[in-house]
Amino acid sequence: MSDKPERKSAVATRRGDDGTTGLLFGSERVFKDGARTEAYGAVDEAIAALGLARAELGLKAEDGTLPRTLALLPDLILRLQRELFVVGADLATAPESADRQKPGETRVTAAMVDAVDAVLADTEAAVELPREFVVPGETRLSAALELARTIVRRAERRAISIRRAEPVADDQVVPYLNRLADLLWILARAAEQGEARGATPSRSQPRQRRPDSVE
């Protein structure tokens, strides 16, 4: 046996070894595979996936290949990552502790949803939208954004499950996640077009228009 003193980690508290975790606001511990932890866990994944996109933008900025049309994208992604921390905090709050939340810090607000809507409208007006479903992977940046989008959709589904079981007055989590997923899809198209790449359609052959019928 080693005579070295046992070292304790400041991160690993070991309290979760029984499969439970604590909420941000709320005294009871919950299981790690419960609906609430699944929801804010998916949000955490989305934050990490957006980190891949932001890192790719950073590399392009360093080597001078970041298109001017994407110059504002790093700051936008960082803003969205920080807003997702608010979403996670909202989901990590037990309903009986809602009065402890702070709007815009630990509770999603209607203003946050409106702000995403505004960016979505502006970005959509500046890109050419594909006419078919798109296969992700045309660029690393757009693929990272698509990955984040699909994770946000999962977080949205989990959040809906929670809200169906525990309705919350003036809940803005689901609307925010819904708008954000739409925005990330548009940003992926903007990323492709910013690098002069076209989206790859899901069909191997273009959809053919039906000829006009003859009477």
Residues 202-213: what's their mean pLDDT?
A: 58
pLDDT, position 213: 41
Collapsing DSSP to helix, strand or coil, 15 comes out as helix
Q: Read off the DSSP letter of residue 202.
A: S
Nearest in space to 46 (alpha carbons), one of 12, 102, 86: 86
- For residues 160, 154, 45, 130, the Cα torsion angle rounded to the nearest 10 degrees is -130
Q: Are residues 92 and 40 in contact, defined by beta-carbon separation less than 8 angstroms? A: yes
DSSP assignments along 53-90, one per residue? HHHHHHHHHHHT---GGGTTHHHHHHHHHHHHHHHHHH
For the residues 30-42, what does the mean pLDDT come to?
Answer: 78
CA gap 177, 182 in Å, rounded: 9
In total, the chain counts a number of residues equal to 215
Tell me if 28 sits within 8 A of 116, measured CB to CB: no
pTM of the predicted structure, to 2 decimals: 0.82
pLDDT at 215: 39
Is pLDDT at 14 greater than 80 in this prediction?
no
Unique residue bearing structure tokens 């866990």 = 41
pLDDT digits (tens, 9 = 90+) for 84-139: 999 999 998 887 777 787 999 989 999 999 999 999 999 999 998 887 778 777 79
Higher pLDDT, 33 or 95: 95
Q: Which residues pair with 22 in a beta bridge?
A: 29
Q: How far is CA 42 from CA 63, 83, 154, 196, in A?
A: 32, 14, 7, 32
In one-letter notation, the amino acid at residue 92 is: A
Quick: pLDDT tens for 151-174: 999 999 999 999 888 777 678 999
